[in-house]
Amino acid sequence: MIAGLQTAPMLAGFDGSGYAVEIDLTPLGAYQLLNLPLHNLAKTVIAPDHIMGSGWAANATEQLAAALSWSRRWQILDALLARRLGAGALPSPAAVQAWSLLRERGGAVSLRELTRATGLGQRRIQQLLREHIGLPPQALSRIVRFHRALTVASTGPDSLVDLASRAGYHDQSHMNRDFRALSGKTPGELLHLMRRRPAGHSRGHIQSFNDFGLPTPSNRSA
Confidence at residue 221, expressed as pLDDT on a 0 to 100 scale: 39
Confidence at residue 215, expressed as pLDDT on a 0 to 100 scale: 59
Give the max Cα distance, the chain. 55
Q: Give per-residue pLDDT as tens, 126-177.
A: 999 999 999 999 999 999 999 999 888 877 778 899 999 998 999 999 999 9
Confidence at residue 10, expressed as pLDDT on a 0 to 100 scale: 82
Alpha carbon distance 125, 112 (integer Å): 10
Instruction: Reply yes or no on whether the pLDDT at 214 is more than 90.
Output: no
Q: Provide the pLDDT confidence category of residue 19 given band limits of 50, 70 and 90.
A: confident
Instruction: Reply yes or no on whether the pLDDT at 209 is more than 70.
Output: no
Q: What percent of the chain has pLDDT over 70?
A: 88
Domain segments of the chain: what residues? 2-6+20-85, 93-195
Confidence at residue 204, expressed as pLDDT on a 0 to 100 scale: 43
Instruction: Reply yes or no on whether the pLDDT at 30 is more than 60.
Output: yes
Q: Give per-residue pLDDT as tens, 3-14.
A: 999 998 887 777
- What does each C-alpha distance from 134 to 3, 7, 191, 198, 212 come to in angstroms? 11, 11, 28, 33, 14
Amino acid at 47: A
State pTM to two decimals. Answer: 0.80
Instruction: Reply yes or no on whether the pLDDT at 75 is more than 90.
Output: yes
Instruction: Reply yes or no on whether the pLDDT at 218 is more than 60.
Output: no
DSSP H helical ranges for the chain = 27-34, 49-52, 56-66, 70-85, 93-104, 111-118, 122-132, 137-153, 160-167, 172-183, 187-195
As a CATH number, domain 93-195 is 1.10.10.60
Instruction: Reply yes or no on whether the pLDDT at 205 is more than 90.
Output: no
Alpha carbon distance 179, 147 (integer Å): 10
Q: Give per-residue pLDDT as tens, 45-70.
A: 999 999 999 999 999 999 999 999 99
Contact 214/147 with Cβ under 8 angstroms?
yes
